[in-house]
C-alpha cells in the first residue's frame, strides 16, 4: 500500500470520527421512537411526551394540518392529531422538525471555516429532500405499493435519503463547497466529487450518522444503498423501500428540484417502475401536483421556500443552468478544436512554404510569417546564434517575413549561449534585470513590458529565440502543448537550414518529427477509441454479465431436464453465453490491460512453451520453428502477458494460409540493445487495408464468424503495457512479419539457451 493510499485511509477515518462528534437527536425524539416501536404504547403517552414541549407541539399540529388526512378533518388539538394520524405519522412529523432544525448553527467539528463563495445551499437541499419525500408518499398512495409499504415510512425515508451530504457540509463546509465546485465544473455527481476529494461518498456518511443516531436499520440502509440499481441490491425485507427512494430521487432530479451536482443522469424511470411492479403512468400522474405539495409541506415545516409557481420557475431555471453548462462545455470543446485546427493548419502551411535547404534568413522569415497569425503579435524579431561562443544575431521581421533590421550583439557575461536564456517556454521582457542588454535593440516595440520570448527548441536544445509583442502569451487560447509542437517544428526547420553539411541527416530528422506528429495524432485517436471501447466494455460487462449468467444458468438447468432432441440446443445457448461473456472480458483487457506483474523470466523457455501450446496437431497445417541465435539474459517481464501476446501473433500467422513454415526468433538487436521477438510466415501477406486496421478491435479479414478480431489488439496492449512496441509489415519476399520490441533488463543473468 502506497503512502498516498495510507493517508487517504487516515483522512476517511478522521472524517468518520468527526461524524460521532455531531449532535444527537433530542431526548423527546429518541423517546418517541421507543414509544412508537413498542406494542403496548397508548396514545396518551405520546400526547404527554409531545405536549411537554409546547413549541414542538405547535409545529406538529401545523404539520398535521398539511397532511392529506389532516386536511379533511379540522385538527385543533394534539390528542386529535395523534389519534387521527397514528403513531407513525406523528413520529415522522417530530423527526422531520427535529432533524431540519438540528444542524442550524452547528459549527464544524474541525473548525473549518466556510469560504466566501458558498455553493452548497441548505435551503435547496431541504427543498430537494422534501420533494423526494412527497414523491415517495404520492407513489405509495397511488399504487399497489400501499399494501406493502407505509406512507409515513416512505415519506421519512425520502426526507432523510441525502442526509449524508448535509453531514459532510456541516463537518467540512469549505471542503464540501470545493466538492460542489468540482461537480459543477466537470459535470460530476456529488458522490463522484466526494470520492475524489474525501475518499468516501455521502452514502457512507449517511449510514454512519444513522448508526450514531440509532435509527431503524431499514432507514439506515435507505441512506446507504439508495441510488443503486435495483437488481444489484441485496435481498433485504426493505428492498422495495430503497428502490422507491431511488425512483423518487431520479424523478425529482428530472424536475430539476435539486442542488449542484444532483442533476439528471439519464436514469431509466420506466425500468425503475418495472422493478417495483409499477406502471410508468404513475410518474405522469404525480408530476402535476408535486410542486404544489412540496410548497404546502415546506410551509408546515417552517422552510422559507417559494410558492409552487416559484418552485416551478426555479426548476425551469435550473434546467436552463444545466443546459447552459452543457453549451459552455460544447463551446469550450469547439474552441479547443479550433485551436488545434489552427495549429495543424499552421504546421501544414509552414511545411508547404519553408524550404530547409534555403538560406537561414529566409527560413527565419518563414517562421515569423507562420507565427504572426497564430501569436497575434505586432512586433517580431529572431535571436540566433550559429555556434556557442559566437556573437548573437538579432533580426527584426515584418509579419510577412521581410527583414527590417539586423544587428550583431555580444551576449553578457557569463552567458555565452542561447541556452542560458532559460528553460521556460515563455519569458516576459518585464524581467529587464535579466536581459537589460537587449532593450536598446528593441526600440521599435511599442511596449517592452509586453515583449515575450519563445525559445525554439528541438531535440538537441534551443536553436533560436522568437521575440514578439502581444497582449497575452501564446495567442490567448492556444494550449501549451500545441505551441510546443509549433515551436519544435519551426526549430527543426531552422536547424536544418543552419547545418549546411548535415542537410540530408537533418532533413531525415525533420521527416521523423513529422511522422512522430502523425503518430501522436494516431495514438491520440487510438487512445480515445480505446477509452470509448473501455466505457462500452465496462457498461456491457455491468449490464450484460448478470443477464448472461441467468441465461447460462437457466440453459444448463434446461439441458438437464429437456428431452434428447432439445438438449443440444440448450447446450448451445450455454456455450454462446460463455463465449459472449469471455469476449466482454477480452474487450475490457484490450481497453485497459492489467498492470504487468513482472518477474525474472527465462524468455527462451517461455517461448518454447508457447510454441508447444500453439502448434497444430496436424503437421499439414503448418509448423512453428523456434530460433534462438544467441545467449540471452533473464528478462524482467510479466510472463503471462507476454506469452498471451506471442500466442496471439503466432495464431494469426498459422491462420495465414498457405503458411507451411513459421519462424519464431528471439535476439538482442537494434541501436538501443533491445530484445527483438519476431514471427515470420510464408503466407500471402496482408493488404494495405489490413495492415492499417490489423490492431483495431473487432477487425478481421477472415470470413465472418471465424474470429472476433481482438487477438492482435490484445497482444499490442500487453506489449505496450511493458513499454514495448508491436509492429506488423509484409516481408520483402512475401508473407507477414510481426516484431515485438522489449527493453533488456539491468544486471544481466546470463544463461546458455542454445
The number of C-alpha atoms within 13 Å of 694 and in the hemisphere containing its C-beta is: 22
Q: What are phi and psi of 394, to 5 degrees?
A: -115, 110
- Total count of residues recorded for the chain: 754
pLDDT at 132: 92
**pLDDT-based confidence at 200, cuts 50/70/90?**
confident
CATH topology of domain 599-751: Heat Shock Protein 90 (3.30.565)
Mean pLDDT of 540-566: 75
Mean pLDDT of 554-559: 78
Domain 11-21+104-305, CATH number (from 3.20.130.10, 3.20.20.70, 1.10.490.130, 1.10.3210.10)? 1.10.3210.10
Phi-psi region of 387 (alpha: psi -120 to 50; beta: other; left: phi over 0): beta
Cell of 312: 416551478
pLDDT at 239: 92
Would you give the distance in Å from CA 473 to the centre of its chain? 30
User: Does the pLDDT at position 403 exceed 90?
Assistant: no
Lowest mean pLDDT among 135-144, 250-259, 376-385, 466-475: 466-475
pLDDT at 225: 92
Answer positive or negative: Cα dihedral of 269, 272, 276, 279: positive
Q: What is the pTM of this model?
A: 0.45
User: Does the pLDDT at position 747 exceed 60?
Assistant: no
Mean pLDDT of 556-567: 79
Contact call for residues 246 and 223 (beta carbons, < 8 A): no
pLDDT at 151: 83
For residue range 208-231, list pLDDT tens digits in order: 888 888 888 888 999 999 989 999
- Indicate the helix (H) or strand (E) that contains 116: none
Cα–Cα separations (whole angstroms), residue 642 to 530, 722, 745: 20, 9, 15
- Top-confidence residue, 458 or 272: 272
Lowest mean pLDDT among 52-56, 59-63, 300-304, 568-572: 300-304
Picking from 67, 97, 100, the residue whose alpha carbon sits closest to that of residue 84 is 67
Is the backbone peptide bond immediately before 658 cis, with ω within 30 degrees of 0? yes
**pLDDT-based confidence at 429, cuts 50/70/90?**
very low
**pLDDT-based confidence at 139, cuts 50/70/90?**
very high
Spatial neighbors of 332 by CB under 8 A, at least 6 apart, are: none
pLDDT at 47: 77
How far apart, in whole angstroms, are the C-alpha atoms of residue 705 and residue 707? 6
pLDDT at 29: 75
**pLDDT-based confidence at 751, cuts 50/70/90?**
very low
**pLDDT-based confidence at 178, cuts 50/70/90?**
confident
Same fold, 11-21+104-305 and 599-751: no
**pLDDT-based confidence at 754, cuts 50/70/90?**
very low
Q: Give bridge partners of residue 667 from the DSSP assignment.
A: 676
Contact call for residues 382 and 368 (beta carbons, < 8 A): yes
How far apart, in whole angstroms, are the C-alpha atoms of residue 204 and residue 221? 10
Domain ranges of the chain: 11-21+104-305, 340-500, 516-591, 599-751
Mean pLDDT of 345-359: 75
Cell of 49: 411526551
Cell of 57: 407541539
Mean residue pLDDT of the chain comes to 75
Question: What are the E-state strand segments in 144-284?
Answer: none
List b or e across 376-386, with b for residues whose CB sees 16 or more CB atoms inside 10 angstroms.
ebbbbbbbbbe
For residue range 96-120, list pLDDT tens digits in order: 777 777 777 677 766 676 666 667 8
pLDDT at 613: 85
**pLDDT-based confidence at 427, cuts 50/70/90?**
very low
pLDDT at 445: 73
How far apart, in whole angstroms, are the C-alpha atoms of residue 422 and residue 418? 8
User: Does the pLDDT at position 490 exceed 80?
Assistant: yes
Phi-psi region of 347 (alpha: psi -120 to 50; beta: other; left: phi over 0): alpha
Mean pLDDT of 692-718: 68
Picking from 747, 752, 745, the residue whose alpha carbon sits closest to that of residue 598 is 745
Is the CATH number of domain 340-500 3.30.110.30?
A: no
Cα–Cα separations (whole angstroms), residue 530 to 268, 593, 649, 738: 27, 11, 20, 22
Mean pLDDT of 74-103: 71
pLDDT at 416: 55
Answer positive or negative: Cα dihedral of 31, 32, 37, 38: positive
Is the CATH number of domain 516-591 1.10.287?
A: yes
- Sheet of 623-628: strand order equals 623-628, 661-669, 674-681, 736-743, 725-730
Answer positive or negative: Cα dihedral of 167, 170, 176, 181: positive
Amino acid at each position: 500500500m502506497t503512502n498516498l493510499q495510507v493517508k487517504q485511509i487516515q483522512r476517511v477515518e478522521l472524517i468518520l470520527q468527526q461524524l460521532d462528534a455531531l449532535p444527537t437527536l433530542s431526548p423527546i425524539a429518541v423517546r418517541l421512537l421507543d414509544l412508537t416501536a413498542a406494542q403496548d404504547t397508548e396514545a396518551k403517552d405520546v400526547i404527554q411526551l409531545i405536549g411537554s414541549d409546547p413549541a414542538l407541539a405547535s409545529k406538529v399540529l401545523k404539520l398535521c394540518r398539511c397532511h392529506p388526512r389532516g386536511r379533511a378533518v379540522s385538527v385543533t388539538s394534539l390528542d386529535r392529531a395523534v389519534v387521527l394520524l397514528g403513531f407513525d405519522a406523528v413520529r415522522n412529523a417530530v423527526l422531520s422538525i427535529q432533524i431540519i432544525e438540528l444542524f442550524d448553527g452547528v459549527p464544524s467539528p474541525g473548525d473549518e471555516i466556510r469560504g466566501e463563495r458558498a455553493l452548497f445551499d441548505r435551503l435547496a437541499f431541504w427543498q430537494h429532500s422534501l420533494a423526494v419525500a412527497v414523491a415517495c408518499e404520492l407513489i405509495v398512495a397511488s399504487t399497489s405499493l400501499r399494501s406493502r409499504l407505509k406512507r409515513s415510512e416512505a415519506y421519512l425515508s425520502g426526507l432523510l435519503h441525502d442526509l449524508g451530504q448535509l453531514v459532510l457540509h456541516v463537518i467540512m463546509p469549505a471542503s464540501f463547497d470545493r466538492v460542489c465546485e468540482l461537480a459543477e465544473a466537470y459535470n460530476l455527481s456529488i458522490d463522484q466529487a466526494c470520492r475524489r476529494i474525501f475518499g468516501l461518498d455521502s452514502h457512507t456518511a449517511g449510514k454512519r450518522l444513522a448508526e450514531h443516531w440509532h435509527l431503524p436499520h431499514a432507514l439506515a440502509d435507505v441512506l446507504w444503498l439508495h441510488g443503486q440499481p435495483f437488481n444489484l441490491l441485496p435481498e433485504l425485507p426493505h428492498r422495495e423501500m430503497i428502490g422507491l427512494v431511488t425512483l423518487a430521487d431520479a424523478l425529482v432530479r428530472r424536475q430539476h428540484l435539486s442542488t449542484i451536482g444532483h442533476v439528471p443522469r439519464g436514469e431509466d424511470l420506466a425500468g425503475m417502475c418495472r422493478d417495483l411492479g409499477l406502471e410508468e403512468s404513475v410518474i405522469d400522474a404525480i408530476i402535476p401536483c408535486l410542486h404544489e405539495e412540496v410548497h404546502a409541506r415546506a410551509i408546515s415545516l417552517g422552510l422559507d421556500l417559494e410558492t409552487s409557481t416559484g418552485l416551478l420557475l426555479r426548476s425551469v431555471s435550473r434546467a436552463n443552468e444545466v443546459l447552459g453548462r452543457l453549451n459552455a462545455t460544447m463551446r469550450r470543446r469547439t474552441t479547443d478544436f479550433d485551436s488545434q485546427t489552427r495549429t495543424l493548419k499552421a504546421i501544414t502551411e509552414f511545411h508547404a512554404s519553408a524550404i530547409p535547404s534555403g538560406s537561414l534568413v529566409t527560413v527565419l522569415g518563414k517562421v515569423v510569417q507562420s507565427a504572426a497569425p497564430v501569436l497575434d503579435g505586432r512586433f517580431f524579431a529572431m535571436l540566433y546564434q550559429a555556434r556557442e561562443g559566437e556573437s548573437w544575431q538579432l533580426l527584426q521581421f515584418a509579419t510577412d517575413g521581410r527583414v527590417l533590421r539586423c544587428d550583431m550583439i555580444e551576449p553578457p557575461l557569463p552567458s555565452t549561449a542561447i541556452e542560458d536564456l532559460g528553460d521556460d517556454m515563455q519569458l516576459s521582457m518585464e524581467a529587464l534585470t535579466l536581459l537589460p542588454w537587449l532593450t536598446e535593440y528593441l526600440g521599435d516595440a511599442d511596449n517592452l513590458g509586453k515583449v515575450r520570448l519563445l525559445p525554439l527548441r528541438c531535440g538537441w536544445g534551443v536553436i533560436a529565440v522568437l521575440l514578439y509583442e502581444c497582449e497575452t502569451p501564446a495567442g490567448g487560447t492556444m494550449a501549451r502543448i500545441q505551441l510546443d509542437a509549433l515551436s519544435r517544428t519551426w526549430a527543426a526547420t531552422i536547424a536544418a537550414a543552419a547545418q549546411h553539411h548535415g542537410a540530408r541527416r537533418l532533413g531525415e530528422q525533420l521527416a521523423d518529427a513529422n511522422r512522430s506528429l502523425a503518430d501522436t495524432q494516431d495514438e491520440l485517436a487510438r487512445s480515445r477509441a480505446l477509452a470509448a471501447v473501455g466505457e462500452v466494455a465496462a457498461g456491457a460487462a455491468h449490464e450484460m454479465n448478470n443477464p448472461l449468467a441467468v441465461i447460462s444458468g437457466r440453459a444448463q438447468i434446461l439441458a438437464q431436464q429437456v428431452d434428447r432432441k432439445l438438449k443440444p440446443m440448450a447446450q448451445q445457448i450455454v456455450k454462446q453465453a460463455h463465449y459472449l461473456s469471455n469476449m466482454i472480458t477480452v474487450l475490457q483487457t484490450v481497453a485497459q490491460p492489467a498492470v504487468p506483474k513482472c518477474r525474472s523470466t527465462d524468455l527462451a523457455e517461455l517461448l518454447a512453451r508457447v510454441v508447444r501450446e500453439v502448434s497444430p496437431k496436424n503437421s499439414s497445417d503448418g509448423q512453428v520453428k523456434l530460433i534462438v541465435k544467441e545467449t540471452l539474459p533473464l528478462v524482467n517481464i510479466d510472463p503471462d502477458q507476454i506469452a498471451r501476446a506471442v500466442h496471439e501473433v503466432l495464431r494469426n500467422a498459422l491462420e495465414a494460409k498457405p503458411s507451411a513454415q513459421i519462424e519464431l526468433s528471439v535476439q538482442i538487436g537494434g541501436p538501443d540493445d533491445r530484445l527483438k521477438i519476431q514471427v515470420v510466415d510464408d503466407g500471402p501477406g496482408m493488404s494495405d487495408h489490413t495492415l492499417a486496421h490489423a490492431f483495431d478491435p473487432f477487425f478481421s479479414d477472415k470470413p465472418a464468424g471465424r474470429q472476433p478480431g481482438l487477438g492482435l489488439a490484445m497482444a499490442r496492449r500487453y506489449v505496450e503495457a511493458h513499454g514495448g512496441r508491436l509492429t506488423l509489415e509484409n516481408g520483402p519476399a512475401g508473407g507477414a512479419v510481426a516484431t515485438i520490441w522489449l527493453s533488456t533488463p539491468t544486471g544481466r543473468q546470463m544463461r546458455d539457451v542454445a
